Amino acid sequence: MKRMRVVILGCAALALAGCATQVIRKDAAEVVDLSGRWNDTDARLVAEEMVRTCTAAQWVARFNKQKGRDPVVIVGTVTNRSHEHINANVFIEDLEMALVNSGRVRFVASKTGADFMLQGSINSVKDETRGQYAIMFQSNLELIDLTTNEKVWIGQKKVKKRVKRPQYSLP
């Protein structure tokens, strides 16, 4: 009987120790993907790649040749059309930072003085079965000439994740 109490107390101590909150500081640039949902890493990587593609496109050279200066860009609305909650402002801020740091365009804080506006959406498709799912996030952006309303660049970036959940887990 005494041995049984020791075992029960030992199990209880282990269970309580496993419930303690543990916080580990990470470098903000490090990839941490716990759930498979859209996260800060997805926002940053998609923004950087799409801005790199956008600013390397021919519209920049055409504008430079016609106007003799770098184009002025603003980021408009990015709509979340995915099945989950996404703070689109994080993605917008990453787009703004990538645009400013590209050195290919000038950036303004409001429509006044802008030649072009970057806008778009984030969409998702999820496929799920028995303890696992695949999710694809598709970001669509378009750059609009604010004088002519012409779409001068259209970009798309997909991020696909496969998430496998353990068959048994503690709540």
- DSSP for 103-120, please give it: SSSEE-SSSTT-SEEEEE
Conformational region of residue 102, where left means phi above 0, alpha means psi within -120 to 50, and beta covers everything else = alpha
pTM greater than 0.85 (yes/no): no
pLDDT digits (tens, 9 = 90+) for 96-107: 999 999 999 999
- The count of C-alpha atoms lying within 13 angstroms of the C-alpha of 74, restricted to the half-sphere facing its C-beta, is 13
Strand partners, 155: 141
Decide: residue 79, CB within 10 A, 0-12 exposed, 13-18 middle, 19+ buried. middle
- Whether the CB-CB separation of 75 and 99 falls below 8 Å is answered with yes
Q: How many CB atoms lie within 10 A of CB 75?
A: 23
If you average pLDDT over residues 70-80, what whole number do you get?
97
Q: Which domains does the chain have, with CATH numbers?
A: 37-164 (3.40.50)
pLDDT digits (tens, 9 = 90+) for 18-61: 667 776 776 767 666 677 889 999 999 999 999 999 999 999 99
